[in-house]
């Protein structure tokens, strides 16, 4: 089916559900009461207007301005007396995310094609459609929130980085940070993965040239009859000189790094390469450094990461958030993680290692988990006061149902992270897995509010790099997502309730 087929499938449900939702809930709801009026102020040309309750930068509103501008000629031809500001209605602004969701699905298709070139078109299409149904991404496609735009910008930056177009990747990355400031962490992560890929490519070139030198002696680089080398002279000389400086022991180390399980050796090898290629890396990745430096300057100038409502969004050591993310993520990948096969794979990987080391690692993970939930479980005022969110009920009915419950969940958290590490390690280098974990931690730990929307970007990086080749698992995940989406949308649209003090119709929301 390809990208066109994916776009048609996603567009079909985006259009149908959007019409239904805008008919039943035409007025701004929840955070939309801040975002929609702010975007409408921008549509009126009041670019200096700002609602102090908005915590994120104006990236989404800028994207909406461009989107409405593209629609305005058509809208004007339909309604002659329409003005640009009138075109920025709630339904039109919400449709921004609908269009972005379709574009995001195409990005996912391209990323999967790049990461898994061996997959046929049918398999890539299936995976893309399932990921487009991921409930936390799917639900906010129909509301005017920053989540869909944020994910789309980050994935676009990542795709360009995979294609080694780092300048354009950084430009889109700057837009991602302008949409949601915590995306600076994922832009830094994208830069790090680009650096790892660069080093890996150089290792392969050095190893291949060394092998070629050993097999051909002085004629390692054959020259054509015109006296021109078969490879680029500058690159040939640089890599050949690097290869000559390595002893046979170093060569064996490089050749074994890709398959070695020695994590510390891998870190040392990469650190050495970072220093060796420092100037080449700076020349290739300097645009990311500018974005990071600009963000640091902004934080010092602003006095906080968030723009508005700073008192309610102070940075807090919320280590338990990392535990919640692992469990939520593996639950949304239940056919992959909670199976007898996955449990057996984990047990087998443990048996292949030193039992004493495994016992120590398990004890350490459990201790860290217990300490995280005991000392660093934060009940944000928004969490315990707003019964429109599902996290309100999960907190009260599950985690707070009994004093021991949060401790009983720790082994499940530990299993979840071990299963995540096990799956990622099958397809990625251990340094990549470490970078992913640190990026996820840096995103979630400072956030005092338990908000599943924050899990979307790390979840997508997880599932895109988890090489799940079983179509049955993807089909089961698709069924799980459809069932979840149907339930959530039914509760949102058709099961409203009212607060006792008469604050109007309220609805359940993620």
The mean pLDDT value for 415-431 works out to 91
Q: Is residue 505 helix, strand or coil?
A: strand
Alpha helix (H) residue ranges in 79-146 = 84-87, 90-115, 121-132, 135-139
pLDDT-based confidence at 358, cuts 50/70/90? Answer: confident
Does residue 370 form part of some domain? yes
Q: Would the pLDDT of 37 be above 70?
A: yes
Q: How far is CA 315 from the centre of its chain?
A: 21
Q: Give the whole-angstrom CA distance, residue 25 versus residue 28.
A: 8
Q: Give the whole-angstrom CA distance, residue 372 versus residue 461.
A: 24
Comparing C-alpha atoms, which of 459, 455, 457, 468 is closest to residue 422? 468
| 260-312: pLDDT as tens digits | 457 778 888 888 888 888 888 898 899 999 999 999 999 999 888 888 877 77
Does residue 488 form part of some domain? no
Does residue 220 form part of some domain? no
Model pTM? Answer: 0.87
Q: Give the whole-angstrom CA distance, residue 206 versus residue 255.
A: 10
Please give the structure tokens belonging to residue 379.
């009940």
Note the maximum CA span of the chain.
90
Does residue 353 form part of some domain? yes
Does residue 392 form part of some domain? yes
Does residue 113 form part of some domain? no
Q: Give the whole-angstrom CA distance, residue 130 versus residue 477.
A: 7
Question: Angle formed by the axes of helices 263-276 and 183-216, to 10°?
Answer: 90
The DSSP call for residue 457 is: H
Does residue 406 form part of some domain? yes
| 67-112: pLDDT as tens digits | 998 886 766 555 544 677 778 899 999 999 999 999 999 999 999 9
Q: Give the whole-angstrom CA distance, residue 126 versus residue 143.
A: 25
Q: Domain total for the chain?
A: 1
| 232-266: pLDDT as tens digits | 444 444 444 444 443 333 333 333 334 345 777 88
Q: Is residue 308 helix, strand or coil?
A: coil
* Alpha carbon distance, N-terminus to C-terminus of the chain: 32
Does residue 386 form part of some domain? yes
Cβ neighbours of residue 269 closer than 8 Å, sequence gap 6 or more:
253, 254, 257
Q: Would the pLDDT of 384 be above 90?
A: no
Its domain, for residue 452, covers 315-469
Comparing C-alpha atoms, which of 125, 155, 258 is closest to residue 199? 258
Comparing C-alpha atoms, which of 467, 472, 508, 469 is closest to residue 491? 508
């Amino acid at each position: 089916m390809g990208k066109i087929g994916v776009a048609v499938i996603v567009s079909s449900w985006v259009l149908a559900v959007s019409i239904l939702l805008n008919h039943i809930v035409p007025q701004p709801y929840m955070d939309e009461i801040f975002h929609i009026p702010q975007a409408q102020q921008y549509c009126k040309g009041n670019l200096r207007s700002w609602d102090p309750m908005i915590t994120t930068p104006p990236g989404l509103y800028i994207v909406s301005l461009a989107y409405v501008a593209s629609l305005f000629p058509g809208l004007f031809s339909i309604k002659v007396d329409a003005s640009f500001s009138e075109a920025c209605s709630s339904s039109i602004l919400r449709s921004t995310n609908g269009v972005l969701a379709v574009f995001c699905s195409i990005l996912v298709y391209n990323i999967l094609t790049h990461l898994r070139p061996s997959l046929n078109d049918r398999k890539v299409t299936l995976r893309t459609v399932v990921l487009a149904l991921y409930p936390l991404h799917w639900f906010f496609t129909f509301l005017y929130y920053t989540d869909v735009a944020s994910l789309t910008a980050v994935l676009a930056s990542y795709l360009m980085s995979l294609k080694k177009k780092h300048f354009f990747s950084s430009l889109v990355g700057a837009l991602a940070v302008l949409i949601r400031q915590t995306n600076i962490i994922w832009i830094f992560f994208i830069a790090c993965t680009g650096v790892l890929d660069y080093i890996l490519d150089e290792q392969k070139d050095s190893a291949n040239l060394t092998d070629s030198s050993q097999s051909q002696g002085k004629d390692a680089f054959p020259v054509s009859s015109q006296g021109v080398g078969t490879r680029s002279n500058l690159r040939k000389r640089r890599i050949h000189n690097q290869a000559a400086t390595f002893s046979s022991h170093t060569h064996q180390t490089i050749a074994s790094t890709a398959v070695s399980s020695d994590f510390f050796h891998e870190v040392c090898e990469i650190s050495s390469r970072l220093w060796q290629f420092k100037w080449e890396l700076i020349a290739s990745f300097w645009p990311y450094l500018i974005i990071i430096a600009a963000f640091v300057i902004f934080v010092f100038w602003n006095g906080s990461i968030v723009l508005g409502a700073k008192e309610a969004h102070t940075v807090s050591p919320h280590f338990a958030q990392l535990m919640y993310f692992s469990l939520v993520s593996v639950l949304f990948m239940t056919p992959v993680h909670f199976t007898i096969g996955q449990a057996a794979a984990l047990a087998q990987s443990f048996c292949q290692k030193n039992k004493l080391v495994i016992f120590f690692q398990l004890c350490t993970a459990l201790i860290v988990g217990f300490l995280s939930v005991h000392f660093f479980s934060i009940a944000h005022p928004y969490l315990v006061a707003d019964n429109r969110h599902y996290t309100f009920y999960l907190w009260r009915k599950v985690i707070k149902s009994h004093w021991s419950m949060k401790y009983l969940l720790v082994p499940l958290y530990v299993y979840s992270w071990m299963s995540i590490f096990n799956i990622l390690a099958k397809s990625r280098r251990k340094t990549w897995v470490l970078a992913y974990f640190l990026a996820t931690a840096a995103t979630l730990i400072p956030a005092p509010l338990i908000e599943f929307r924050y899990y979307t970007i790390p979840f997508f990086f997880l599932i895109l790099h988890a090489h799940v080749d079983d179509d049955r698992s993807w089909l089961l995940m698709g069924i799980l997502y459809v069932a979840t989406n149907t339930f959530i949308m039914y509760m949102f649209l058709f099961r409203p309730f009212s607060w006792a003090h008469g604050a109007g119709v309220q609805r359940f929301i993620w």
